[in-house]
Amino acid sequence: MNKPSISTIIVIICLLIIGLYAMGEVNYFSSKVIVEKNIDAPKILIPSIGVDEKINNETLNQGVLSDPSENIPTENPVILYGHRTLQGSPFLRLNEVGLGDNFILEWPGVGELTYQVVNTTIVPAEYELQSHGENNTYLITCDPIGSTENRMIVQGELIKKSPVNTEIIKNNPQESNALIISAIFLVIGLAFSYFYPKENRVYILATVLIISAALFYFCINPIPSELIYDKIIFLNGGM
């Protein structure tokens, strides 16, 4: 067997880095399935950008975080935080939400609440939001993408209240995301291996298979995704 060339070693390192990011996302989605299973947590839906996410009051690493956690819509202003990149990126496209657009909160014990966007703004990260009004909800994420320099704030005002849609509460459109990510990595990795120079192909194939095996393992036995991201945060410049 030929020794791996320098270029092959570089390719393997790149595959390992991509694999680590894939593992982070696989663990994120797999953990969410376990945490959210049979839990009637509130939900946020933003139809215009495809957001359908459970809301938690524990950590941003589980998706969309409500903070302060004790605030209840129609009684207090609600502030929801979501990642722009990685950890499922629930608010990746929040910048596409404009004035007049609607978003919905399905909130058990309160109702289906439709909000209309009345303000969008970008402020420095150290800005302290002065939330007010029991009929206001604020959506907050980082800006620009991949940076924590600023915060994007979208303010919605309640325009309609209806009974909770229990089917929406129980639905989890992200349930298969971990398996999909794992399968995509395996298929693309195998195709890449097939076309890689024959003399070093076995090294690439072995790397792809080992990483894929780890991904499918984490689909069944996830660990907290932050355990992986905390180790590779330097690759994002510490962001």
Per-residue pLDDT of the chain (239 residues; tens, 9 = 90+): 678 889 999 999 999 999 999 999 999 999 888 877 767 789 999 999 999 999 998 888 888 999 888 899 999 999 999 999 888 899 999 999 999 999 999 999 999 999 999 999 999 988 888 888 889 999 999 998 878 889 999 999 999 999 998 888 888 888 899 999 999 999 999 999 999 999 999 999 999 999 999 999 999 999 988 888 877 766 654 44
The answer to the question of residue 138 being in a domain is yes
Residue 1 is assigned to a structural domain of this protein: no
Same domain, 150 and 54: yes
Which of 116, 138, 166 is the endpoint of a domain? 166
Whether residue 61 sits in one domain with residue 20: no
Residues 25 and 87 in one domain: no
Indicate the residue among 121, 138, 166 that finishes a domain.
166
Give the residue carrying structure tokens 């791996």: 4
85 within a domain of the structure (yes/no): yes
Could you write out the DSSP letters of every residue in 58-113? S-GGGSEEESSTT--TTTS-EEEE--SSSTT-TTTTGGG--TT-EEEEEETTTEEE
Indicate which CATH number applies to the domain containing 77. Answer: 2.40.260.10
Q: Are residues 21 and 57 in the same domain?
A: no
For residue 226, tell me if it sits in a domain.
Answer: yes
Q: In terms of C-beta distances under 8 Å and separation of at least 24 residues, what long-range contacts does 196-201 make, across chains too?
A: 196/11, 199/2, 200/2, 200/4, 200/5, 200/8
Q: Are residues 108 and 180 in the same domain?
A: no
What pLDDT sits at residue 239?
Answer: 42
Q: Are residues 83 and 137 in the same domain?
A: yes
The predicted structure's pLDDT at residue 208: 97
Q: How is residue 72 written in tokens?
A: 């209840």
Eight-state DSSP code of residue 149: S
Residues 202 and 101 in one domain: no
Claim to verify: residue 228 and residue 144 sit in the same structural domain? no
Using the CB atoms, write b or e for 41-61: b if 16+ within 10 Å: bbbbbbeeeebbbbbbeeeeb
Please tell me whether residues 157 and 43 are part of one structural domain: yes
Does residue 125 sit in the same domain as residue 85?
yes
Same domain, residue pair 146 and 196: no
Quick check: is 204 in a domain? yes
Which domain, by its residues, includes 19?
Answer: 6-32+175-236
Residue 235 has a pLDDT of: 62
Domain presence at residue 63: yes
Count of domains forming the chain: 2
118 and 157 in a single domain? The answer is yes
| pLDDT of 1 | 62
